[in-house]
Amino acid sequence: MPVQVAAGGVDGGPPVRRTKAAVVVARRIVEQIVDGGLRDGDPLPNESAMLRDLGVGRPALREALRLLETQGMLRMKPGPGGGPVVRRPDPGDLAGAMTLLLETLHARWGEALVAWAALEPAVAGLAARHARDDQIGGLEAQVARMAEAVGTAAFYRENAAFHALLAESSGNTVILVVLEAIARVTAEAGAGIHLPRSFRATLVAHARALVAEVRNRDAVAATVVMTRTMADWQEFMSSDYAAVESTPIRWSPISD
């Protein structure tokens, strides 16, 4: 079906914003990728087929493909037999754009910590409502791994994995993506943070209590536990790493 572009307003009514043909074409291509179940690395049809199917001119199609490439939905495979190939966007793409925007707004690392602290209690409550039994089992196993790693450098990885599993258990895709993007935005500044063993043990205790409330399906109690956890995080940062909190967020290019 040929692409249709809005032509203008109706007499006496508000003006209708024109949509560039390339944007409409890009939307159609995304729909075809998603609805067609195309996976990362799958090629798109050749240019002749796409021109025929979409009913647009070559300039609009090529501009649409460039747009999708910049948005991380496609990559161009070079050489004979090359062309546009599906590339599934991930939270790293959002993190890159978010970091660039936050730097221009002079945002600080501590502000990202506050945002994280605001979101995590909501995640805990959602997990208590929506987590599947197998996800709760996974959270319990992850807490055990945190406890085993409390005296090693692996604790940081296991703690991050716990929060990722909790976000996944919330059943909310938007929160999952935003939290992962925030984690990537703050990764560089957070790399220099050292958690004392006593504080790691406190985090394990909080995590164990939280999972128990998730297992009990008590959203209010789970929210309270996570609120306490994040308050401890913020107190620790303010007392031991105030300089890190004031560190400006800096953008750096992320490559595949």
Question: Residue 242 pLDDT > 70, yes or no?
Answer: yes
Q: Output the CA torsion 144→146→151→156 (10° steps).
A: 170
Q: Which range among 5-9, 56-60, 95-99, 190-194 shows the weakest confidence by mean pLDDT?
A: 5-9
Q: What is the pLDDT of residue 16?
A: 43
Three-state DSSP state, 86 = strand
Q: Which tens digit of pLDDT belongs to each residue from 156-165?
A: 999 999 999 9
**Domain(s) of CATH 1.10.10.10: residues in the chain:** 21-86
At residue 59, the pLDDT reads: 93
Give percent of the chain above pLDDT 90.
Answer: 70
DSSP E strand boundaries for the chain: 74-77, 83-86
Q: What is the CATH number of domain 21-86?
A: 1.10.10.10
| CA distance linking residue 111 with residue 114, whole number of Å | 5
What is the pLDDT at residue 251? 84
Beta strand pairing status for 83-86 and 74-77? antiparallel
pLDDT in tens, 163-194: 999 999 999 999 999 998 888 888 776 778 99
- Give span(s): CATH 1.20.120.530, the chain: 92-245
Is residue 11 pLDDT above 60, yes or no?
no
Average pLDDT over residues 58-78: 92
Among 12-16, 91-95, 135-139, 234-238, the range scoring the smallest mean pLDDT is 12-16
Write down the pTM of the prediction: 0.78
Burial class (CB in 10 A: 0-12, 13-18, 19+), 245: middle
Query: For domain 92-245, which architecture applies?
Result: Up-down Bundle (1.20)
Q: Which pLDDT score, from 0 to 100, does residue 97 have? A: 87
Mean pLDDT of 196-202: 97
Is 100 a residue whose pLDDT tops 80? yes
> Residue 248 above 60 pLDDT?
yes
Say if residue 7's pLDDT is above 70: no
The 3-class secondary structure across 32-60, one letter per residue, is HHHHCCCCCCCECCCHHHHHHHHCCCHHH
- At residue 185, the pLDDT reads 83
